[in-house]
Amino acid sequence: MVDKFYSILFSRHPDIQKKFARTDMTAQRKKFFYTLDELIKHLEEPDKTLSDLLVLGNSHVDYGVKADQYPLVCDALVEAMKSVSGKAWTPTLDAAWREAYAKVADIMKKGAALRRPSKS
């Protein structure tokens, strides 16, 4: 599913793919999968991932991620899950994943907003 996600994201948004030019994509896929796994494990205990998501959002500033790119990632993620789920995918699952992603993205954006401007 993670391979499918990046394939969809990069084919739709080559500008985002450029941000990964110096990235070890094997390691990146593992990190992304691990993060998704942790979020799913703690769906009922979101406080356990709050600080990690704030830090993750803050670090994404270094990668050049902008707030308007979060929905693009959501669309690619949901599309990847839908494509691997086949007939098991439902509108209810679609809505639930979009809602969950929106909550995660909101926390990450708050983390990004905590970044202090660099002194130049």
List, for residues 37-63, the tens digit of each pLDDT value. 999 998 888 788 999 999 999 999 988
Q: Residue 36 — very low, low, confident or very high, per pLDDT cuts 50/70/90? A: very high
Is pLDDT at 120 greater than 50 in this prediction?
Answer: no
Residues in Cβ contact with 7 at an 8 Å cutoff, skipping those fewer than 6 apart: 80
Q: How many CB atoms lie within 10 A of CB 21?
A: 6
* Domains in the chain: ranges and CATH: 2-113 (1.10.490.10)
Give the pLDDT score at 45: 86
Which is it for the CA torsion 94, 97, 102, 103, positive or negative? positive
Lowest mean per-residue pLDDT among 39-53, 61-75, 81-95: 39-53
Is pLDDT at 117 greater than 90 in this prediction?
Answer: no
